[in-house]
Amino acid sequence: MKNEIIRILQQNARISDTELGEMLGISPQEAADQIRALEEDGVIRGYSVILDDEKYDKSAVYATIELKVTPQRDCGFDDIAKIIMMYDEVESVSLMSSGSYDLAVEVKGSNLKDVAFFVSERLSTIDGVLSTSTHFILKKYKEKGIFIDNEEPDERGMC
Amino acid sequence: MLSVIDYEKALSGRVKSIKPSGIRKFFDIAGTMEGVISLGVGEPDFSTPWVIRKAAIKVLERKHIIYGPNKGLVPLRAAVSDRIEKKHGVRYDSEKELIVTVGGSEAIDLAIRGLIDPGDEVLVVEPSFVCYAPLVELTGGVAVPVPTRIENNFKLTAEDLRDKITDRTKLLILPFPNNPTGAIMTREDLEPIAELLRDTNIIVLSDEIYSELTYGRRHCSIIELEDMRERTIYVNGFSKAYAMTGWRLGYVAAPAPIISQIAKIHQYGIMCSPYISQNAAVEALTSCDAEVAKMVDEYNVRRRYLVSEFNRLGLTCFNPEGAFYVFPCIKSTGLSSEEFCERLLYENKVAAVPGSAFGDSGEGYVRISYAYSLKHLMEAMRRIGLFLEKLEAEKNEDKGSC
């Protein structure tokens, strides 16, 4: 049940309790309870929206920044990651298992300069950050399982 | 002088007399319109599992693409035979009792042509897929509809069947899990049918193409019942279960005296089924059970959603236990199923198939396929809701004016 709820919400988190209940063969109240339990347990951390920035904000700039950092005594990479994640510009922070860098940081800015300055003035100046490498994102095709580019037309016939 | 050819004279009378598919008509209209959302298809929206596609690529890279044996590749026939035995506990000899066909469609055609002489009667359980009666008519046989009813959950009952059997009855076409109703037959449902047939020389053509797609209980085949293997032609295929429609692969299993005869039709008409597909299909049977289960789970979510949505909107919807269709009743709207589908298409841009396309007993119903993503289905249901509101408003207006 848990897995099915999550699978459905991942496709569309705005689905109503009634609809979710119908899909799972439970009452709307039970569906709401199940979701609340998942939220309370911290399994579901939040809900967001997936945008096509080509349509919403054409000038927005996204970048993935690879950070090499010195792990700190007792807390490894957590401290630095927690500093980085407090910035509003930062969309995601992940610890990587890679030979060449440690943290992957996704940043959104309103223009190229914004992002470049954010990296040079905010990220690279953090104690323990050894180096940064910035990759600008030109186009997103799919995000969180949702197609951003137009889907292929359905060629199936009626038979 | 201009030479004029008379195509009317040139063409076969039998061919001219059969009707084109009623499903096709709506598809053709929908194709000319912008922004139509379809609920019409009869094939999975999933991709063929990757291991199957990989197997096909390997064949293309490493093998000569040949005709192969008439009845199908030996390893595939062996795998099919094992699969039927695993599912139904019934063994078919892979050499003498099996043919790999070009989809379940060819298997149905082979069975009908192999059995029917002009004047023979074929009992066609309806509503059902559109191909049976036309194929019977092409052989000069007579298709006798055996309607099923919503009161019986669209199952075939011995009472429905008994009156239709005559001295000329040769074949019963038993299409369960059913397209378009989604009905299934349990062992208890099949037993009275088998009992009725045991004293006759009637053969059953059991079209079980949707056998892997059942929700809640396992599909039971009539071949599992006592004395029924010897009087049944079992048809199945890869299209629906493994999302392999375009690979064109099915199979027919039957007692050797039948297979040895219909193998000739296959040999002369088709020669052999596609070699690449056959190689890949071995993979489907040996390593894709988990993938199929995943697809079934997803279909099930959609099925439950549609059934309760239609009921909520006031269109009584029978709870289907198989295939990937729901079959809501639209009689409350006062429209015929064709009118309903035509107006739904033109006014709210949703394409569905009128139940009447599947036989007269389908009148008053529409077939809704759920071989679509939830997102697609939810948008379609929103539009159908608007359409029904409009119909309701029209009704009230009519009442007000008189």
Share of chain B above pLDDT 90, in %: 92
Q: Which residues pair with B351 in a beta bridge?
A: B38
Whether A153 has its CB under 8 Å from any CB of chain B: the answer is: no
β B37-38/B350-351 pair status: parallel
Return the structure tokens found at A36: 């609340």
- Contact between B378 and A19 using a beta-carbon 8 Å cutoff: yes
Return the structure tokens found at B110: 């082979």
Task: Single out the residue of B213, B224, B189 nearest to residue B320, CA to CA.
Answer: B213
- Contact between B374 and A12 using a beta-carbon 8 Å cutoff: yes
Indicate the residue of B21, B305, B351 with minimum beta-carbon distance to A159.
B21
Indicate the residue of B40, B307, B374 with minimum beta-carbon distance to A11.
B374
pLDDT on residue B329: 98
- Contact between B41 and A11 using a beta-carbon 8 Å cutoff: no
- Contact between A159 and B26 using a beta-carbon 8 Å cutoff: no
Question: pLDDT tier at A151 (50, 70, 90 boundaries)?
Answer: confident
Whether A152 has its CB under 8 Å from any CB of chain B: the answer is: no
Mutate to test the interface with A, among B305, B311, B377 (most CBs of A within 10 A): B305
Instruction: Report the C-alpha gap between A147 and A143 in whole angstroms.
Output: 7
- Contact between A158 and B42 using a beta-carbon 8 Å cutoff: yes
pLDDT on residue A158: 59
Return the structure tokens found at B121: 């009667």
- Contact between B297 and A154 using a beta-carbon 8 Å cutoff: no
Using a CB-CB cut-off of 8 Å, the residues of chain A touching B301 are 4, 8, 23-24
Does residue B220 surpass a pLDDT of 60?
yes
Cβ proximity of A141 and A149 under 8 Å: yes
Q: What's the whole-number mean pLDDT along residues A39-54?
A: 94
Element (H, E) at B56: helix B50-62
Using a CB-CB cut-off of 8 Å, the residues of chain A touching B23 are 158-159
- Contact between A15 and B378 using a beta-carbon 8 Å cutoff: yes
Tell me the three state secondary structure of residue B196.
helix
Q: What's the whole-number mean pLDDT along residues B230-252?
A: 97
Shortest distance between the Cα of A53 and any Cα of chain B, in A, equals: 21
Shortest distance between the Cα of A106 and any Cα of chain B, in A, equals: 28
Task: Write down the mean pLDDT value for chain B.
Answer: 95
Using a CB-CB cut-off of 8 Å, the residues of chain B touching A158 are 23-24, 26-27, 30, 38, 40-42, 351, 353
Using a CB-CB cut-off of 8 Å, the residues of chain B touching A8 are 301, 374
Shortest distance between the Cα of A101 and any Cα of chain B, in A, equals: 33
- A-chain residue closest to B369, CA distance: A158
Does residue B402 surpass a pLDDT of 60?
no
Share of chain A above pLDDT 90, in %: 79
Q: What is the DSSP annotation of B350-378?
A: EE-EEGGGG-GGGTTBEEEE--S-HHHHH
- B-chain residue closest to A12, CA distance: B375
Using a CB-CB cut-off of 8 Å, the residues of chain A touching B296 are none
Interface of A with B in 14-33 (CB under 8 A): 15, 19, 22-25
pLDDT digits (tens, 9 = 90+) for B112-130: 999 999 999 999 999 999 9
pLDDT digits (tens, 9 = 90+) for B245-294: 999 999 999 999 999 999 999 999 999 999 999 999 999 999 999 999 99
What is the value of pTM for the model shown? 0.91
Using a CB-CB cut-off of 8 Å, the residues of chain A touching B297 are 4
pLDDT on residue A159: 54
Task: Single out the residue of B229, B168, B219, B172 nearest to residue B196, CA to CA.
Answer: B172
- Contact between B305 and A158 using a beta-carbon 8 Å cutoff: no
pLDDT on residue B1: 64
Q: What's the whole-number mean pLDDT along residues B21-49?
A: 87
Whether A11 has its CB under 8 Å from any CB of chain B: the answer is: yes
Cβ proximity of A61 and A110 under 8 Å: yes
Return the structure tokens found at A118: 């954010």
Using a CB-CB cut-off of 8 Å, the residues of chain A touching B38 are 154, 158
pLDDT on residue B161: 97
- A-chain residue closest to B379, CA distance: A15
Question: pLDDT tier at B26 (50, 70, 90 boundaries)?
Answer: confident
Indicate the residue of B30, B42, B301 with minimum beta-carbon distance to A23.
B301
User: DSSP assignment, residue A50?
Assistant: -
- Contact between A158 and B27 using a beta-carbon 8 Å cutoff: yes
Does residue B30 surpass a pLDDT of 90?
no
Using a CB-CB cut-off of 8 Å, the residues of chain B touching A25 are 304
pLDDT on residue B190: 98
Whether A4 has its CB under 8 Å from any CB of chain B: the answer is: yes
Cβ proximity of B301 and A26 under 8 Å: no
User: Interface pTM (ipTM) of the complex?
Assistant: 0.80
Does residue B32 surpass a pLDDT of 90?
no
pLDDT on residue B242: 97
Q: Starting at the edge strand that comes first in sequence, how are the strands of the sheet with B142-147 ordered?
A: B98-101, B250-253, B232-237, B203-207, B169-174, B121-126, B142-147
